Amino acid sequence: MKSMIKRNLLLYFRNHSGVFFSLMGALISFILYLVFLKKNMQSSWSQVPNSTILLDLWLIGGTLSITSITTTLSSLSQSVIDKEKHITQDLELTDAGPFRLQMSYLLSSTIIGILMQLIMFAIMLGYFYVTDKLTVTGGQFIDIFGLMIISSLLATAVNSLIIRYIHKSDNLNKVGTIVGTGAGFLVGTYIPIGSLPNFAQNLVKITPGSYVASLFRQYLMGNKLNNVFKNSVSSRNHFDRLMGIRLEWSHLLTQKETYLIMVLIFVGALILLIGSQWLQNRRQMYLLQEK
């Protein structure tokens, strides 16, 4: 399995244009912010002290969440390509077997998701350090790194469900484009969730990535927000709600509740994944006998 993971990583990183396009959604979010949105958002938050740094951190949170969604999807697409080119048949004739083969796709996708988030984080942090003197503490980095792992696992599980129903690499590209462009809106990064109409807000809330984004924002912005809103709980809540730092169900979700939701989505996706795999195996057995 180790060598299959190595294979998947090599195939992902050697395809330079593939790497670039898998980051497209994240890069759009970053560049869109720099070129168009930053100025506008700064002026509407000008009464908040440190607004530039806060907005930079807010953007980083959302962009990392997009990164894990699009890069894991792109990595998982190798399994579709392998099926299409009959590489899967060759691999299934070895001693490795289908279970280990599937696991190797999932694990490599998780690893790629983590690596690409680290790379995007370095790029954005580097840029904002130069322009706005932005830094993060070691403690923050550890929290963020942990969340990157969880985010990557979650995105891999959810994307695997999507991938299951795609059998042609042609369709895969189409789905990749849709997810890449949609992700930025769905995790509330292009436009803050608070400025969206109700229906769109609900869409954001059913997107797993938006919970990841909210936790990233909490880790990145938490300390600074505590200082800024020291004397006003209600304006803090308003800010959190507007910017998607905490998502609102019946109340603003705590960190624990957010994690719980993510775990539930993860477990749910896994159950669906294993269930559908089981159904497919049964159907395949049936078809094989039929054939």
Partner 1 sequence: MLLEAKHLTKTFGKYVAVNDLNLKIKKGSFTALLGPNGAGKSSTMNMLIGLSKPTSGELIYSDKIKLGVVFQNSVLDEMLTVQENLQIRAKQYRHVSKNKVNEVIQQLGLNEFTGQRYGTLSGGQKRRVDIARALLNDPDILFLDEPTTALDIQTRTAIWHLLQELQQSKELTIILTTHYLDEADSADDVYIIDHGMLIVEGTAADIKEQYAEDILHITTSDVDRLCKNSKISPIRKTTTQVIYSLSNSKDALEILTANKSLITNFEFRPGTMDDAFLALTGNEVH
Which chain residues interact with partner 1 by CB under 8 A?
A: 2-4, 6-7, 10-11, 14-15, 85-87, 89-96, 288-291
Closest approach, Cβ 167 to partner 1, in A, equals 16
Whole-angstrom distance, CA of residue 196 vs CA of residue 144 = 27
Q: Which amino acid is at 113?
A: G
Q: How many CB atoms lie within 10 A of CB 231?
A: 7
- Report residue 278 CA to chain centroid gap: 27
* 3-state DSSP assignment of residue 248: strand
Please identify, using beta-carbon distances, which residue of 89 and 232 lies nearer to partner 1.
89
Give CA–CA dist 66/216, Å, rounded: 12
2 vs 133 by CB, closer to partner 1: 2
Element (H or E) spanning 49, and its range? none
Closer to partner 1 by Cβ: residue 85 or 168: 85
Q: How many CA atoms lie within 13 A of 203 on its CB side?
A: 13
- For tokens 């292009």, the residue is 190
Q: Alpha helices, DSSP H only, in 33-96?
A: 38-44, 51-84, 87-92
Residue 95 burial class via C-beta count within 10 angstroms: exposed 0-12, middle 13-18, buried 19 and up: exposed
Minimum distance from CB of 18 to partner 1 (Å)? Answer: 10
State the nearest-atom distance from the C-beta of 15 to partner 1, in Å: 6
**Closest distance of CB 94 from partner 1, Å:** 4
Nearer to partner 1, 92 or 170 (CB): 92
Looking at the Cβ atoms of 43 and 289, the one nearer to partner 1 is: 289
Question: Minimum distance between the CB of residue 275 and partner 1, rounded to whole angstroms?
Answer: 24
| 94 versus 254: smaller Cβ distance to partner 1 | 94
Could you tell me the smallest distance in angstroms from the CB atom of residue 87 to partner 1? 5
